[in-house]
Chains A and B, each alone.
Chain A
Amino acid sequence: MTLTSLLLLLLAGIVTGTIGAMLGLGGGVFLVPFLALAFGLPMHQAIATSILAIIATSSAGGAMNVERRIVNLRLGMTLETTTVIGAILGGVTANLLGGDVLTKIFAGLLLLVSFMMIWRIRQRGMEEPTHQDGVLAATYRDDSTGTIVSYSVRRVPAVMLVSLVAGNISGLLGVGGGIFKVPSMNIIGGIPMKAATATSNFMIGVTAAASAFIYFAHGHINPLIVAPAALGVLSGSFLGVLLGRKIKSHVLTWVFAIVLLIISIQMFLR
């Protein structure tokens, strides 16, 4: 490995982390195909690298959101019981499958994510109302409106089931899975989008750690690839949040939904 490769990996992490944060996706959706297609990394190593980057961004973001009380801590801990099981099963399955099969499954995931991104644009402003008759009640301050939001969670077993599936996708493909989990938490559990996003991001660090050691045990963690990529994604995620506050364009989401669609086709044909 050359020093140029290290710098390119750092840059790849920054770019994918920035785009991911700007679009409200983790970096994994962009990082995995980038490492596999542009760097020619074996699929398992690309996924393992993304999982480590997810732990870094979840921990950094979680530290802020827990202190600001946007994370529903008790809900997060409850959902982690199933998300960890899902991630372990996903990690084990991934290591039983060949790189080609994983690439095809990842291509299918990208196709779904690109449709979800477009669906999310249409759903904007159509958030489910909050309820007070559920469990795991929480309160947080919404800085954008200056109001205090109180809510409780409905249908916890169903939300736990969604977390099991999201954990499985995360362990299998090295992505956060928030694009599926967050809308489900809002629609099924009646959790406000901000709290659902923060709680989902907070949980994903533990989910990713559950599968990280499986990839590590199988020799897919390459320190010189993971470190620059993870540091890049971490710094990119901060940059993305800052840029995301300034650029609120539906066009950007459309552009990257189409980019993901093209990457998906490329991965299918690989």
Chain B
Amino acid sequence: MDDPTTSNVERWISMALRIGVWSSAALMIAGLLAVWVSGSASLPPSENLSPRALLRMLFSSSVDGVTLIFSGLVVLMLTPFLRVLTAAIGFLAERDLKFAFVSLAVLSMLLGELFFFLR
């Protein structure tokens, strides 16, 4: 029997996962190095761990180590979303409507939950 060959959807999913995890790791490493170079690791106080406070940090004009680290964490948390979206697009491209629908159902649950808890 011949070796199974990798399909387009598998290649795209693999690429989406690699992009997500390695860009997130790069941001976190850069952030940790920035914290190390600045010599202080002043954490946002625990009351500032609220999603609003952390998300505000992302859109502030100054970029420091903690902001870079947090950006990396956001990219990491969104990587599975990207992977499911890629699967939906891949299955659609392969005209596999059943699994495109399954992927979209999973994505809808994830997005619904995301907006419900962060609203």
Do A227 and B1 contact each other (CB < 8 Å), given the known contacts A6-B35, A206-B83? no
Kindly state whether residue A77 has any CB partner on chain B within 8 Å: yes
Q: Which residues of A contact B79 (CB under 8 A)?
A: 55, 59, 205, 209
Given A2-B41, A217-B118, residue A139 in contact with residue B4 (CB < 8 A):
yes
Contacts of B99 in A (CB 8 A): 74, 77
In the assembled complex, the CB of A172 is this many whole angstroms from the nearest CB of chain B, namely 15
Do residues A224 and B106 form an inter-chain contact, with CB atoms below 8 A?
no
A214: which B residues are within 8 A, CB to CB?
Answer: 113, 117
Which of these, A52, A58, A88, A224, contacts B77 with CB under 8 Å? A52
Interface centre among A59, A69, A74, A206 (most CB of B within 10 A): A59
Chain A contact surface mostly: helix
A216 near B51 with CB under 8 A, answer yes
Give CA–CA (A220, B25) in the complex, Å.
Answer: 20
* Interface residue A213 (Cβ < 8 Å from any Cβ of B): yes
- Minimal beta-carbon separation of B117 from chain A (angstroms): 4
The yes or no answer to A141 lying at the interface (CB within 8 A) is: yes
B14-33 contact mask (Cβ, 8 Å, vs A): 1 or 0? 11011011001100110110
Is B93 part of the contact surface with A, judged by Cβ < 8 Å? no
Q: List B contacts of A77 (CB < 8 A).
A: 84, 87, 99, 102-103, 106
Contact B117 A217 (CB under 8 A): yes
State whether A209 touches B49 (Cβ < 8 A). Answer: no
Determine whether B62 belongs to the interface, using a CB cutoff of 8 Å to chain A.
no
Closest to B13 in A: A66
A59–B4 touching, CB < 8 Å = no
Cβ 8 A contact of A56, one of B24, B35, B110: B24
Can you list 14 A-B pairs, Cβ within 8 angstroms, ordered by A? A1-B43, A59-B17, A62-B83, A74-B99, A77-B87, A139-B4, A205-B80, A213-B113, A213-B114, A216-B118, A222-B46, A223-B70, A223-B73, A230-B76
Interface residues of B (CB under 8 A from A): 1-4, 6, 9-11, 13-15, 17-18, 20-21, 24-25, 28-29, 31-32, 35-36, 39, 41-44, 46, 49-51, 54, 66, 69-70, 72-73, 76-81, 83-84, 87, 99, 102-103, 105-106, 109-110, 113-114, 117-118
